[in-house]
């Protein structure tokens, strides 16, 4: 066989065996074996969804800031943060205020952060 043709066939065979059928190697938010951490998981969720009001100092009528590890942990322990983000879209008091409810997988991450013991 022509060596070039052989190389092309090997390359095509290798490439065509790459597929995206499998989701098992993707990190899923509900993966119970991975510890949820403030630094790698929670801070970015709060940054993108809450800090336009819960800034330091808080604005738009928000009663407290959520800019540090302690702020977010305390809001879960004493201000019902998980209840607020879990409320149904359109029901009173759902956070982000006047926004879109977080995806359930994101809410589950916050819940798991608490279950995992608020790892920083
Ligand atoms: C558009 C502004 C805005 C955004 C964005 C926002 N909040 Fe709020 N938040 C408020 C306001 C205003 C209040 C006070 C009114 C109320 O309690 O509903 C509040 C209240 C809260 C409270 C209750 C505090 C208490 O002591 O009663 C929690 C907890 C909370 N927010 C968490 C969050 C979280 C978590 C996010 C992001 C997922 C978020 N908020 C996004 C404006 C906002």
Distance 44 CA to ligand 1 centre (A): 17
Whose structure tokens read 């100092």? 57
**Nearest Cα to Cα of residue 109 among 50, 11, 27, 41:** 41
CB of 60 shorter than 6 A to ligand 1: yes
**Consecutive 10-residue runs of the chain (120 residues): their mean pLDDT?**
56 50 50 90 98 98 98 98 97 96 98 98
The predicted pLDDT at position 76 comes to 98
The predicted pLDDT at position 47 comes to 98
The predicted pLDDT at position 32 comes to 75
Distance CA 8, CA 45 (A): 46
**Nearest Cα to Cα of residue 119 among 34, 38, 47:** 38
Contacts of 34 (CB under 8 A, 6+ apart): 27
The predicted pLDDT at position 33 comes to 85
């Amino acid at each position: 066989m022509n060596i070039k043709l052989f190389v092309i066939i090997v390359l095509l065979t290798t490439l065509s065996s790459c597929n995206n059928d499998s989701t098992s190697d993707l990190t899923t938010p509900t993966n119970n074996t991975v510890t949820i951490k403030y630094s790698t998981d929670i801070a970015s969720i709060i940054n993108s969804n809450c800090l336009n009001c819960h800034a330091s100092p808080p604005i738009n009528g928000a009663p407290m800031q959520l800019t540090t590890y302690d702020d977010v942990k305390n809001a879960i322990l004493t201000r019902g943060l998980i209840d607020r983000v879990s409320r149904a879209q359109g029901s009173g008091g759902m956070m982000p205020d006047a926004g879109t409810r977080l995806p359930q997988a994101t809410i589950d991450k916050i819940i798991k952060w608490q279950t995992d013991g608020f790892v920083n």
